[in-house]
Structure 1
Amino acid sequence: MSEALRFELLGPQRAWYAGRPLDLGPAKQRAVLAVLLLAAGRPVPTGQIVEAVWPDEAPVNGLNVVQKHVAGLRRVLEPDRSPRTPARVLTLTDAGYLLRVPPEAVDAARFERGVRRARAAQAAGRTAEALAEVSAALELWQGEPFTGFGGAYFETARHRLVELRAVALETRTELELADGRHGELVGRLVELVAEFPVRERLRHQLMLALHRSGRQAEALAAYREYAGLLRDEYGIEPGGALQDLHRRILRADPDLLAGARPERAGAGERWAGDPEPIPAAPEAPAQ
């Protein structure tokens, strides 16, 4: 049964059963499903669902309201089940409600797995495999997740996925720069810098792509723009890796040309704006 289900969280929340789109019901019922999907394969206590879905003011009869939404989801997720037959996909255990679907049924889980595989392949020097993995992962992204869902739980989950997408975009760009695709990357990087203005690694990649495309003046202008933004908004200077790239562009360092070693921060150095290493999925709020 669960193998016939497919869910999308990376953009508008959608679901299919055996290829047929499902009506997931009202907003709170969809939010309950989202909490269960983020913990697919792990039980979630009812009280934690209440706190995640009603963060500001829980209903007086919150446990009964969750039970009502779970009943609605059971009808949606097992449309062919007889009312007298026990549910198999969404069950109640001693530890809470458990959504029994494989990780590959949820696009967010496939996205995270693909990014992790890409980064592992890149670290091992399997660049073609890494590029294929990260490109396939990014194709799953259809828009910002959990729009319309408020509260700390969904904000944390949303932020984590957006950060992971930024890591994936940077990883793909680094691989494509190493493959000599700098000319075709400039336009995309300009758009990404506008979307993520303080991610220093993207600024580094934009400057490098411009320099390798013979557009040194624009590369230097991109540095000045970013340095001005940091000073005006945060009172800080660009990180050491970006300052070093700026100096090397000024002196026309031949090692920056395509085909040279990949340009990246030194061992142990972090890019300004980078997230922490990919964090685990957020737990539902404690009771």
Structure 2
Amino acid sequence: MPTTVTTDRPATTMLRHQERQVLSAVGCGLRDDEVAAALAVPEDVVAERLARILVKLGLRDRAAAIVHAFDCGLVVPGRGARARSVRPVPRAVAVRATGPKVRISLLGPLRARRDGHPLDLGHLRQQAVLAVLALSAGRSLSQQELLADVWGMEPPAANVVPVYIYRLRKALHVGDGPDPVIERGLRGYHLVSGAVDVDVARVEELITDIRKVDRGGEPIEAVRLCAQALELFRGEPLAGLPGPFAELERLRLTERRIALMQRKLAWQLRLGQDAEAIAEMFALSVAHPLNEPLATMLMRALHRNGRQADALTVFERARRRLADDLGVPPSRMLRRAHQMILRGDETDLGLMPLAGSTTGR
């Protein structure tokens, strides 16, 4: 009974020269009509040769043939086919910083644009592979790491990572010649430095700037930078992408957004922009009812504006949600704000720390 070949390089010696040409072209992602044009043979001949290849190598379908072409070394990701009769291409060269860039947005559904034009990144698993690379800060990732990050405990039947990398290289292609956006080094795959702009990296740069103006006591500039960072969020980060890595990053980036919003609101309150800040805090507290620092900041702002009844309502709503959802009482921070309002104390109206730190329960 024939068996599926995955990494046995000599297996391709079972093929005739014309069959190796077809397998090489198929491994590059070409359709039958494109293979026929490249090899100058009728399309039905391509289909016949591919059928013989599947039988000889014990492969179940075209997808398995593509994986085999990578695994046996017939096709090298990013360099096209090794068979010279199928559109040979020169060795990949690194993109210079002055060249065109691909812009990748992860702060919402994954998007990529080149020169302002949207790119087709394929299905969700393939997009998830790109997301892992984009969030790895230049670190090289092996095939095993990518499999674990995207598929977790349920890896695919075949190692499809090389196929996905090849397709992503084609999708992200910049300039003439082979696509250099994704490279493979000794330790694995990584995005070429200077070839890609990622919105998450831009947010981190803005946060660094925000911390500087925080220390310098520049509230107007802090509010402006916070708003600029928040504008980069287009919804739930990595929305819809599968895998354990995407799930963890989704939580981390959501918390990043909430922290930025709280920082901006705290500065707005210190600037006396109470009406605008309170309206935003109400909306945010509805979306995040278990966020105690936010509830405390809202209660203090309402109390400062003479809205004690509304402030007490915020406390009661937070208390019920904490009890119902988590089975815990309000934190010491929230209780302290509640007692302040009940006493009518106007001497303790300090707003939340800009770092958003919390106290113990």
TM-score, normalized by the shorter chain, greater than 0.5 = yes
CA drift of 1:18 comes to 1.4
The residue that corresponds to 1:249 in the other structure is 341
The residue that corresponds to 2:163 in the other structure is 68
> Cα deviation per residue 1:173-199 (whole Å; 9 max; x = unaligned)?
111111111122222212111111111
Aligned equivalent of 2:126, options 29, 52, 70: 29
| Structure-1-length-normalised TM-score | 0.83
The residue that corresponds to 2:102 in the other structure is 5
1:223 & 1:179 partners in 2: Cα distance? Answer: 24
What SS does structure 2 have at the residue aligned with 1:97? strand
1:100 & 1:31 partners in 2: Cα distance? Answer: 18
The residue that corresponds to 1:141 in the other structure is 233
What SS does structure 1 have at the residue aligned with 2:347? helix
2:163 & 2:241 partners in 1: Cα distance? Answer: 19
What SS does structure 1 have at the residue aligned with 2:281? helix
Kindly indicate whether the alpha-carbon contact (under 8 Å) linking 1:3 and 1:102 is maintained by their aligned counterparts in 2.
Answer: no
For residues 158-177 of structure 1, the aligned pairs below 5 Å read 158-177=250-269
CA drift of 1:214 comes to 2.0
Counterpart residue type for residue 351 of structure 2: E
The residue that corresponds to 1:157 in the other structure is 249
Aligned-residue sequence identity (percent) comes to: 35
CA RMSD of superposed structures (Å): 2.6
| Structure-2-length-normalised TM-score | 0.67
CA drift of 1:3 comes to 4.6
What SS does structure 1 have at the residue aligned with 2:207? helix
CA drift of 1:242 comes to 2.1
Aligned length: 264
1:270 aligns with 2:327: no
2:124 & 2:354 partners in 1: Cα distance? Answer: 47
What SS does structure 2 have at the residue aligned with 1:7? strand
Counterpart residue type for residue 208 of structure 1: R
The residue that corresponds to 1:53 in the other structure is 150
Kindly indicate whether the alpha-carbon contact (under 8 Å) linking 2:102 and 2:196 is maintained by their aligned counterparts in 1.
Answer: no
Change (3 A) 1:202 1:59: same
Structure 1's unaligned 5+ residue stretches are 274-287
2:267 & 2:247 partners in 1: Cα distance? Answer: 30
Tell which structure's C-alpha radius of gyration is larger: 2
Aligned equivalent of 1:206, options 282, 298, 305: 298
Change (3 A) 1:267 1:12: closer
Kindly indicate whether the alpha-carbon contact (under 8 Å) linking 2:150 and 2:244 is maintained by their aligned counterparts in 1.
Answer: no
CA drift of 1:106 comes to 0.6
Change (3 A) 1:59 1:225: closer
Counterpart residue type for residue 264 of structure 1: M
Change (3 A) 1:51 1:244: same
